[in-house]
Structure 1
Amino acid sequence: MKILVFGGSFDPVHQGHVALFKKALKAVSPDVAHIVPAYHSPFKAKSPTPFKLRMQMLKKAFAGLGKNIIFDDYELKRGGKTYTCQLIEYLQKRYKKPEIYLLVGTDCLNDVHNWKNPEIIFNNAVVVAGKRKGYDENPAAFKHIFLPGFFPKLSSSRVRAHILACGEIPNTVPAAVHPLIEQHQLYGLSIHAWLKSHLKTNRYIHSKSVAELAAVLSDIYNVNVESAVKCGILHDAGKSMSGEQLIRFCKEHKIKAPFFESICAQEPSLLHSYVSRWLARNVFNVKDKDILNAIAEHTLGSLRMSTLSKILFVADISSKDRKYKDAFVIRNMALQDLDRALLYAANRKLLFTIDSQKWLCPLGTRLWNHLVENAR
């Protein structure tokens, strides 16, 4: 009996999953196909998207592909992390002498030998893999077959980043799945709903533009795209407040900011960075310290900026909604040299502040001196 098994987080399921599964059905002609969403993948943090919702999305995405498909909640019943070798053993017990075909993408194929107890997989299953263009085919030292053709370079993390950055579900997600994502405000849609109700339209558009540029820069400088996008979309969450409101909010919630008294007296709008960090942590449940620090540092910077902080600082001043002439210069510079773009961005901020006859926060001048010293 031929058993095709397709596991993964499916968070969310996308068109690449569907295309891969369709091609495998045709190539393998299984008697039964098991689609097995992970409860907690051994390779990732536990998904914040409830298992049952991901299962519902899978059923919508794969509807109509055949009656021999089993949407298997095996991992939910087990709880905790489940390894592929355990999934293979489960199928061996469920069926009498099954011929198991394990469906994976090219990226997984290259890493199967590093999985837990890989000999159980190699001795009891045939690995079925889809290829992407540019893949250098080196035949694996275990039973495997390649599906014909090539598959799009899609990933669930990219889909999540797109939704979080744009507030829209891309067409890389099956249309049947859209209503579930919208109904439950998944993958950042709840953040967009909050921002729309709290920020002015131009500020909301700016937040999206910063998130989009941060995503581009994250690819170039090897930073997690979802972290970069989360920084970008939330960096101005506190911008809806007036200076007086920002001061009151900081005092009420005991938010600390360098030179707090001077900022309150001279330029209270600068407090929005620290209020935005508070909102990210306490309203949107962001726990990652790098993300929180980047949000706090996006206006005045710091002497120890991470790559993520630099990306947000530069993206904020040079996003595509910025209309002043140097925005284009900084944006293109950032695509080539992030540190050079950071120095130029800090220079523009200082000159703008001086030209506007506004107070210079010591943090800004410290950043400038620090960047100049390092540039030399």
Structure 2
Amino acid sequence: MGVNRCIAVLGGSFDPVHSGHVALAELFVALLAPDELRILPAGNPWQKPPLKADAAQRITMLRLAFEHLEVPVVIDEQEIHRQGATYTIDTLKALRAEAGPQASIAFLIGADQLLHLHTWKQWRQLFDHAHLCAASRPGFDMTALPPEVAQEFSQRRGDAARVRAAAHGLGLLAGNLAVDISATQIRQALRNDQPVGTLIPSAVLDYIQQHHLYKN
């Protein structure tokens, strides 16, 4: 382990948190061995419709979903408390200010988010504050990426050791995240009393059922 701390950051609406989120975190915890996993539930995501579960419910579900990990997990509520639209660039600037210039900050995303990374506010400047670590699902076609995103990633491509050693600026692509789950599908199944099986961690499903979430 290097002298620098490594903070893995996973953001999302988590409405609800599901097994795909957990698998993504587990993949990069195994790959990067970070000193901390920072979970960032969104407040008011500008690219998505309004959230169904409230902030307190989503935070409780996150605690239940990630409590088994062998790494310190911190639920960071900064986006929930920020007024107005939430942008990743603002969050990463705040995280960098908090962690200091030396820490490695690895922002974790699913590779499908790379398809519209170029629509994110100041997306190229994300690399000034963090590494972008993407996990692809089976069959994900890198040639489907927007050319500017593909070019940026190939120029910045790093491996786990380099991501841990450097503070920011690299792109890491991890293949074979064999989970393909959408929160929209899960909400629909819950609303229609259809089984969701292993799509949601069992403790989270228990909580959803006890509190009758996503019913209407």
How does the TM-score come out when normalised to structure 2? Answer: 0.81
Does 2:183 align with 1:178? no
Q: 2:131 aligns with which of 113, 126, 139?
A: 126
Aligned 8 A contact 1:37 1:75 in 2: yes
Q: 2:152 aligns with which of 132, 138, 141?
A: 141
Q: CA deviation at 1:114?
A: 1.6
Q: 1:100 aligns with which of 94, 101, 105?
A: 105
The corresponding residue for 1:44 is: 48
Q: CA deviation at 1:24?
A: 0.6
Instruction: For residue 166 of structure 1, give the secondary structure of its aligned residue in structure 2.
Output: coil
Does 2:25 align with 1:21? yes
CA distance in structure 1 between the aligned counterparts of 2:120 and 2:38, rounded to whole angstroms: 20
Aligned 8 A contact 2:15 2:52 in 1: no
CA distance in structure 1 between the aligned counterparts of 2:209 and 2:151, rounded to whole angstroms: 41
Structural mapping, 1:353-368, within 5 Å:
none
Structure 1: segments with no counterpart, 5+ residues: 192-376
CA distance in structure 2 between the aligned counterparts of 1:113 and 1:87, rounded to whole angstroms: 17
CA distance in structure 2 between the aligned counterparts of 1:136 and 1:65, rounded to whole angstroms: 30
Percent identical: 32
CA distance in structure 1 between the aligned counterparts of 2:138 and 2:71, rounded to whole angstroms: 32
Aligned 8 A contact 2:7 2:34 in 1: yes
Does 2:76 align with 1:72? yes
Aligned 8 A contact 2:39 2:76 in 1: yes
Instruction: For residue 153 of structure 1, give the secondary structure of its aligned residue in structure 2.
Output: coil
Greater share of helix residues, 1 or 2?
1
The corresponding residue for 1:292 is: none
CA distance in structure 1 between the aligned counterparts of 2:200 and 2:140, rounded to whole angstroms: 24
Q: CA deviation at 1:3?
A: 1.6
Structural mapping, 1:215-364, within 5 Å:
none
CA distance in structure 2 between the aligned counterparts of 1:42 and 1:29, rounded to whole angstroms: 31
CA distance in structure 2 between the aligned counterparts of 1:148 and 1:134, rounded to whole angstroms: 10
Aligned 8 A contact 2:131 2:172 in 1: yes
**Which fold has the larger relative contact order, with Cα–Cα distance below 8 Å and residues 6 or more apart in sequence?**
2
Q: 1:161 aligns with which of 183, 188, 191?
A: 188
Aligned 8 A contact 2:137 2:175 in 1: no
Aligned 8 A contact 1:20 1:151 in 2: no
Q: CA deviation at 1:100?
A: 1.4
Instruction: For residue 200 of structure 2, give the secondary structure of its aligned residue in structure 1.
Output: coil
Mark the CA change 1:136 to 1:148 in structure 2 (over 3 Å): closer, same or farther. Answer: closer
Greater share of strand residues, 1 or 2?
2
Q: CA deviation at 1:69?
A: 1.4
CA distance in structure 2 between the aligned counterparts of 1:177 and 1:150, rounded to whole angstroms: 21
The corresponding residue for 2:117 is: 112
CA distance in structure 2 between the aligned counterparts of 1:131 and 1:167, rounded to whole angstroms: 28
Could you say what the CA RMSD is over the residues aligned between the two structures, in angstroms?
Answer: 1.6
CA distance in structure 2 between the aligned counterparts of 1:80 and 1:168, rounded to whole angstroms: 36
CA distance in structure 1 between the aligned counterparts of 2:56 and 2:98, rounded to whole angstroms: 23
Q: CA deviation at 1:93?
A: 1.0
CA distance in structure 1 between the aligned counterparts of 2:75 and 2:131, rounded to whole angstroms: 21
CA distance in structure 2 between the aligned counterparts of 1:126 and 1:107, rounded to whole angstroms: 17
Structure 2: segments with no counterpart, 5+ residues: 144-149, 154-169
Structural mapping, 1:205-224, within 5 Å:
none
